[in-house]
Structure 1
Amino acid sequence: MAIHNPYAAYQNNSVNTSTPGELTLMLYNGCLKFIEQAKRALENGNIEEKNTAIQKAQAIISELMVTLDTSVPVAENMMILYEFANSRLVDGNITNDAALFDEAAGIIREFRDTWKEVIQINRQKQYANVDEI
């Protein structure tokens, strides 16, 4: 008999009903969460947990890189920044340097904040169009 977990059901439903833009925002937030987990693990001397969290953050960055629309001119610049953030995570993981994690988090936070603004602007336009009907 399976145990019903309402939080897991909510998370699953949230992912299944989100727009592509909202899913991208979730990826940015997840990446930042894992970087913070890695920093806490490093502070606590838990190297294995730090490594696992950084690998999860790197997997998210890799997914963001794979899904870039390279036909859009800005994608090349985004790719460079993703690659740099990823390299900061790798270097920070090897050297146990939280400052490098902070550099990567700063880049991802900028992307996240910009993406959040884009979603809000699109929603405002969408609701403005609905009001005109």
Structure 2
Amino acid sequence: MIEWTPLGNGARPVPRPVATPLVWAMAFGGALLLVAFLNTTVGTDRPVPALASLSLLAALLGSRARFAAAPGTAVLCWLFLNGFAIPPAGVLSWMGHRDTLWLACLLSAALVGTALARIAHARAAYRRITASAAPDADEPRSP
């Protein structure tokens, strides 16, 4: 049975996701800075740390975004991974299985970040609503 509870009792709604263009702008800037940092510290011949870092970035951005932003976030991260984190720098290439795997990894990270954030926000909202709607133990229940 569904019990309607007014939101005026102190319950806060689930936070709204960030607008998709803003998420993509953050993905562009974040991937640029992250790849530049990794190229100076690790080098361009090791794509695994870059893929792991960009996947983490995609998951973090996904945690504040809508599901619709995930494909664009993955593609932007992949462009910087492919274009600047592997030699030759500045040249986009497509190597079938490798790039498909990288895109799938980045897309999965963005989707998992979004899904986990939505679940966490929904659980927190449910707990706030049920905790504020629960009757006090001192009050007698009416039949």
Q: TM-score range by the shorter chain?
A: 0.3 to 0.5
TM-score (norm 2): 0.36
TM-score (norm 1): 0.38
Q: Relative contact order, CA 8 A, sep 6+: which one is greater? A: 2
Rg comparison, structure with higher value = 2
* Higher-helix-fraction structure: 1
